[in-house]
Amino acid sequence: MKTRIKRTLSILAAMTLASCAQDTGGGQNQPGGVWPPDGNVIQSSRPIQFNISRDSVKSSGKRHTFSIFADSNGAKTIASGSMADSGSAGGVSWSPGSDFIIEPNTQYWWQWQDGAGNKSRIYTFFASAWQGGKPISPRNGGFMDRNMRAAPTLGVSNVYTGPGLNPTYDFQIFDKPSATAPIAEKMGEPQAVGDNHTRYKLPVTLSDGGTYYWRVRVNAPGVDNSWSRLSSFTVTDVCQIDGPGYAAWAIDWVPKKCANVITHQDMNDALGLPNASAEYTGFISMDYGGELFLELGMTITDAPGPEIHVFEFVSTEFLEVFVGPTEAGPWTPLGAAFCHRVCEFDLAQGGVTYARYIRIRDLDAQGYICHDTSGCDIDAVLWGSGYRSPMMCGSRWW
C-alpha cells in the first residue's frame, strides 16, 4: 500500500513536469501543431499527453478519439481513448493513463479522429533512453587511467537506440576550463550500434597527471542541441586513487521496459555499504534487461578468490557482471549468477588484473508484467578481498 501511494505521488510529480515542458517547448499552440511533434524524440521518463492545437481541431466541441499504434500502418492499436473538446485555447489533449507504459528506445505511431469521423494522418515519435544524452565518461570530477592516455575516449549515454532514427554526437575536449580552443573535437560522431553508450576515441595523447575538460551535444530531432556542462577529469594511476571499498559513484542506469512503473529508481541507493531495509528502502530495481553502471571508491586488484560482492535485496534474480577500464566500457564479462542477498565475482574469471568500473545487467526475460520492483534489486556493490597492490595497474589488460 505504501509503495502504491508513493508511486501515485511520483506520477503526479512527473505529470507536473511534463505539462511544464509542453507549455514551453511542446509547440501545441502553433498553427497545425500536434504534440508529440512528428518525428521527434520525446522523454520516456515522463507520462505522455497527446495534444492537437486549437488550429488543428476540427468539429469544435465534439469528442476526439486518439489511438497509439505499434506499426506505421495503424494496424496494431496498443492504446486508445477519447476526449471532449472543451473549447479551450490549448486545443484537445488526451493522456493514455498510467496503465500505458512508454517503453524507452521504442518508436510509436499515433492518430486522432474528430467527432465527424475525419482522421488525421499518422504521426510518429521516438521514446528516448531513460537518461540519454548525458556525458558519462569520464564523469565530472572523475579519472582517466593513464594506461589509456595514448588512446583516450569520451563517452555519452545513447539518447535513442531503437529502430528508425540514427542520432549523432559532437564532442570537444579542452586543456583549460575556459573552454575556448579545443585540443580535439568531432562533429557528427555516429551513435554506437547495439550499445548503451557511444565512445569517441580522441586523436590526441593526454599528459599523465593532466586535468582536462570535455563536453558533448546530441544531434537528434526534438532533443536539446546545446552543449552539455563541462566535465573535468584527471589522468592518473588508478591504483593510487584512495577511497572506500564499495560503489561510490552512480554513472548510469538504462532500464529497458518498466521504468515508469518501478518505484525504486534512485541509482544512489546502490552506493555505499548495504543498507536495504524491511521497509523496502535502500535499493534500485534495475528493470527486466536493465543495466546499471557504477564506479568503485577504490580500484580493485585481483587476488585469490572473488573480489566483487553484489548485494541483491528483494528476491532471487539472475544477473551478469562486467568490468571495464572506463565508465562506458569496453566491457569484460565476469560471469552470471542467480543472486539472493549476495553473489560473488572474480576478476580472474575475465583475465582482469584491476578494475574500478562495473556494469550489472539483469538477465530476466522481458515478457513479465511490470511491477514496483521489476528486475534485480541492487543494494550495494562491495570490494571484499582486503588486498591491494598498486603495482598491478602498471599495464593495460583490456
Please give the residue ranges that form the binding site for Ca ion (CB under 5 A).
269, 275, 282, 302, 314, 346-348, 373, 377, 379-380
Asked if 22 and 30 count as a contact pair (C-beta separation under 8 A), the reply is: no
* 15 or 303: CB nearest Ca ion: 303
Under a CB-based contact definition with an 8 Å cutoff, are residues 352 and 397 in contact?
yes
> Smallest gap, in angstroms, from Cβ of residue 369 to Ca ion?
12
Contact in structure between 251 and 293 (CB atoms under 8 Å): yes
Closest to 333 in 3D by CA, of 318, 320, 348? 320
Sheet with 34-35, side-by-side order of all strands: 34-35, 50-52, 92-94
Considering the complex, state which of residue 320 and residue 379 has its C-beta at the smaller distance from Ca ion: 379
Give yes or no for a contact between 370 and 101, defined as CB atoms under 8 angstroms apart: yes
Q: Within 13 Å of residue 134, how many CA atoms lie on the same side as its CB?
A: 19
CB of 249 to Ca ion, least distance (A): 14
Q: Which is nearer to Ca ion, 46 or 264 (CB)?
A: 264
Nearest to 297 by CA among 348, 358, 206, 234: 358
The nearest distance, CB 47 to Ca ion, in angstroms, is: 23
Helices of type H across the chain: 2-25
- Amino acid, single-letter form, for residue 20: C
The strand pair at 106-113 and 308-324 is best described as unpaired
Closest CB to Ca ion among residues 59, 275 = 275
Q: Which is nearer to Ca ion, 160 or 311 (CB)?
A: 311
Which one, 63 or 341, has the nearer CB to Ca ion?
341
- In the complex, least distance from residue 290 CB atom to Ca ion, rounded to whole angstroms: 10
CB of 331 to Ca ion, least distance (A): 18
Neighbours of 23 (CB within 10 A): 11
* Nearest approach, Cβ of residue 284 and Ca ion (Å): 8
Q: Cβ closer to Ca ion: 204 or 363?
A: 363
Nine cell digits for residue 28: 501545441
Q: Is 339 in contact with 376 (CB distance < 8 Å)?
A: yes
Cα 161 to its chain centre, rounded Å, is 11
Question: What is the 3 state secondary structure string of 115-129?
Answer: CCCCECCCEEEEECC
Q: Select 337 or 347, whichever has its Cβ closest to Ca ion.
A: 347
Rounded to a whole number of angstroms, the minimum distance from the CB of residue 322 to Ca ion is: 15
For the bound state, the minimum distance from the C-beta of residue 308 to Ca ion, rounded and expressed in Å, comes to 9
**Distance between CA atoms of residues 228 and 83, nearest Å:** 39
> What does the alpha-carbon distance between residue 112 and residue 105 come to, in Å, rounded to a whole number?
23
- 54 φψ region: left (φ > 0), alpha (ψ -120 to 50), beta (else): alpha
Write down the least CB distance from residue 150 to Ca ion, Å.
28
Q: What's the length of the chain?
A: 398
Q: Which is nearer to Ca ion, 241 or 314 (CB)?
A: 314
Q: How far apart are CA 171 and CA 143, in angstroms?
A: 18
Q: Which is nearer to Ca ion, 328 or 376 (CB)?
A: 376
Smallest separation (angstroms) from Ca ion to the CB of 162: 24
